[in-house]
Structure 1
Amino acid sequence: MVPLSHLRQLLVAVFLLFSTFGFYADIMAGGRLSYPVLFANGVISGAISMIWIFALARLPLIGLAIPIAISALNPLLTMGTDRLLERAFHLAPVDPVAGIRVAASATMIALAISYVFFVSFIRRQGRESFKLRNELELAHGIQKTLVPPVSLHTARFEVYGISCPSEKVGGDLVDALCLSNGDAVAYLADIAGHGLQAGILMGMLKTAVRTALLDAGERDASQTLPVLLERINDVLPVVKEAHMYATFTGLRLGVDGGVYYALAASPPLLHWHTKESTLSHLEEEQFPLGLLPVSGFAGQKLETAPGDLLVVATDGILEVCDKSEQEFGLERLKAIIEADAKAPLAELAKKILTAANGFGKQADDQTILLVRCL
């Protein structure tokens, strides 16, 4: 819904422009209408045009029935107003020559003033559009700086992650880092919303995660991710708008080959089992981060073998829609993984993103995290 404050200049401009219809009708009729009736007709024409703009900008589609009905009744409304004024004030027709001159002058004045308001409205919208473009460029810059392609190699794992921002700019985040004991943590997060707000919160989230993991190498591996989710859920509410939150998928990758995972309202974690050549997916029903003051986040151990592949993709990939509004979905993602599970991680990520973009137009950030067990 367009805010009313954004429509004021446009409403005035449209009112003045379409008020000329009332003046034009008098000119075509010979300029005989009394001046109060003439200007009343102009007001009625302008008011109906304002109702159309208001309905189009602020009412649901069914609300268009209002201006349609009023427009249909316009002749009766105008005729009734004219008769009411003439009877109430005993108005008589004016001299045709003078009447035409007044109607023509009123038309020119209304057009000139409406032009001023239209230009003012366009200038204001231009400034806001320029401001929005700068905001998007800044958000893109933040995302490019804070979410570069991720590539990490350890003795037991290979990690690759990449995020492709949409035009709107969201808050997707993919990251991987080594802990003090040689273990690694890889994670993917998705901030709800778009624009600079989501980009800034994404930067805060990355800083918070890396800070919370500074001493993770000294703690029990099984508790790393649950403790991380608890901490993030505690700190996010004070640095965000009430409606914003983050989904999160985290993996702790041990030097011994052990894997722990935790999910917070995120899409399923896909697990390719290389020995069996099968694909399974893991889901965990937990609240998103920063939305509610909950506790008790859980993490699980994941049994893996050399050659296994772990894949996480954000909604920006899974929810891409084609022309018939059918989603790309989990099954299409699984099919790509099954066909190219042994491909280099960067190549596999590219194939997934290419398939998603070929399926439908990108509407959200598209981010993917791949982990191969060595």
Structure 2
Amino acid sequence: MGKVLVIDDDRTIRMLLKLILNKAGHVVLEAFDAKTGLSVAEIESPDLILLDLMLPDINGLNLLNAIKSNEWLKKIPIIVLTGSTDQENKLVALRSGAVDFITKPFLHEEVLLRVNTQLKLHSLINSLENAVSHLEKDLMAASRIQKSLIPSYPPEGYFDEIHWIYEPSHKVGGDIFDIIPIDDNSVLLYVADIAGHGVNAAMLSVIVHRFIEDYCDNHPDFELSNFMLELDRNFRFNDFTLFFTITAALFHRESKTLELTNAGHPAPLLIKDDMLELKEPAESIIGIDMLEGNTKCYTISPGARLFLYTDGVTEAANDRGQLFGSERLMKSLFEQRNFQLKEQLENVFNKLKTFTGNNEFEDDISIIGIQF
């Protein structure tokens, strides 16, 4: 049942509508002119307004426009009461935001049918808006959780410099990365990208992050191949209905070697005097039981820079549907190679924003740069 405000200067009409609506269980409020009607609406916040277009103080259409311009009242549905020959005003009222009209003289059944229909629609709209509001709060919470997992500062002693750009999408995605010391000589770097968007992807990224932390804590004899096989065993698509890609690299400080593995993720980039795309090894994505645990070692020369990134960077599109692409990313990084690492990343990120023409991205943007 709803709260209905009747605004009509004809006392007989108000009494008749009140009788009809009260009998159906609705609460009826009355106003005999526009000024009183607007005041009652602001105080009582009715669920529905029945508005006569012929009022003694203000034209009903002007009151309709005033209500629809009011931030607190504009969502209230309004049914206009009109004479049978008032066709033009009916159309103007509907164009101004009225949801329906009732022609005088009216039938009891027609009044109830139109009022009940609009009250049901209004209730459904309110329920939908509340659900969307709760969902938005959930997404905001998921986004905050994601951001809290990104390392606040890198471990010291393993690299000359390390910086990153991390820009979560407005949809909440599933990028996650970390730098985890294994022992005094070696450190694990990884970047993972959970497929899809929304709370499910965000929460799976949290679970993956936690799993990797625990695994590193409990395996002092850490081996990169076994680590990847264990990931694949524990995050099967059948259990989570989501898969993810990951690049993981184990850097050994004394030998200056980088042991690399890649499960369906964009290939890391290594820059010194030229650009090298580390395409090997290339493994299957995590979760479909096709991983072999292959790794490859690369010798790292002093001053070299390694870049790990997610496909949100290369698949960012402009308004013509063109992708930023890996070639454009490599060219941008190489052109900026003589800048300080942090400035290099910021310049490339600004190029990405200029290319897309947007500060909001459809997918998470993650780029991690390491200088050895």
Q: Normalising TM by the smaller chain, what interval?
A: 0.5 to 0.7
Residue by residue, what CA displacement relative to the aligned partner does 1:107-140 show, whole Å, maximum 9, x if unpaired? 4333212211111111111111111111111101
Q: CA deviation at 1:175?
A: 0.6
Please, which moves more after superposition, 343-352 or 131-140?
343-352
- Which digits, 9 at most, give the CA deviation of each residue in 1:322-360, with x for residues without a partner? 111000111111122111123333222222222222221
Aligned partner of 2:124 among 100, 121, 143: 121
Match of residue 255 from structure 1 = 253
Offset of residue 294 of structure 1: 3.0
Q: How does 1:1-374 map to 2 (within 5 A)?
A: 105-214=108-217, 216-219=219-222, 224-237=223-236, 241-242=240-241, 244-256=242-254, 257-272=256-271, 274=272, 277-283=273-279, 284-290=281-287, 292-360=288-356, 361=358, 362-373=361-372
Q: Which moved more, 1:259-268 or 1:104-113?
A: 104-113
CA distance in 1, matches of 2:336, 2:291: 39
Alpha-carbon distance in structure 1 between the residues aligned to 2:180 and 2:338:
24
TM (normalized to structure 1)?
0.66
Q: Which has the higher helix share?
A: 1
CA distance in 2 between partners of 1:308 and 1:330 (Å): 20
Q: How much has 1:160 moved relative to structure 2?
A: 2.7
Contact 2:312/2:366 (<8 A) preserved: yes
Give the 3-state SS of the residue equivalent to 2:117 in structure 1: helix
Per-residue deviation, residues 274-313 of structure 1 (Å, max 9, x unmatched) = 2xx21121224311112x1234221100122111111121
CA displacement at 1:364 relative to structure 2 = 0.8
Q: Which secondary structure state, in structure 1, belongs to the residue aligned with residue 235 of structure 2?
A: helix
Task: Supply the distance in 1 between the matched residues of 2:220 and 2:159 (Cα, whole angstroms).
Answer: 16
SS in 1 for 2:285: coil
Cα distance change of structure 1 residues 240 and 148 upon mapping to structure 2, 3 Å threshold: farther
The amino acid across from 2:302 in the alignment is P
Aligned partners of 1:148, 1:155: CA distance in 2, in Å? Answer: 15
State which drifts further: 227-236 or 293-302: 293-302
Residue 92 of structure 2 corresponds to none
Give how far 1:247 is off. Answer: 0.7
Aligned partners of 1:217 and 1:341: how far apart in 2?
36
Alignment check: 8 A CA contact 1:320 1:328 kept: yes
Q: Name the TM-score, length of structure 2 as normaliser.
A: 0.66
Distance 1:199 1:150 in 2: 22
Q: Which ranges of structure 2 fall in alignment gaps of 5 or more residues?
A: 1-78, 86-103
- Do 1:174 and 1:187's aligned partners in 2 also have CA atoms closer than 8 Å? yes
Sequence identity of aligned pairs in percent? 21
Give unpaired runs (5+ residues) of structure 1: 1-19, 29-99
CA distance in 1, matches of 2:152, 2:277: 24
Any idea what SS the aligned residue of 2:326 has? helix
- How far apart are the structure 2 equivalents of 1:363 and 1:114? 38
* Cα distance in 2, alignment partners of residues 342 and 241 from structure 1: 44
Pair 1:176–1:239, CA change in 2 (3 A): farther
Q: 1:342 to 1:178 in 2, by over 3 A?
A: farther
* Change over 3 Å in CA distance of 1:163–1:240 after alignment to 2: farther
CA distance in 1, matches of 2:314, 2:336: 18
Q: What code does the residue aligned with 2:249 have? A: L
Q: 1:186 to 1:368 in 2, by over 3 A?
A: same
The one of the two structures with greater contact order (alpha-carbon pairs below 8 A, sep at least 6) is: 1
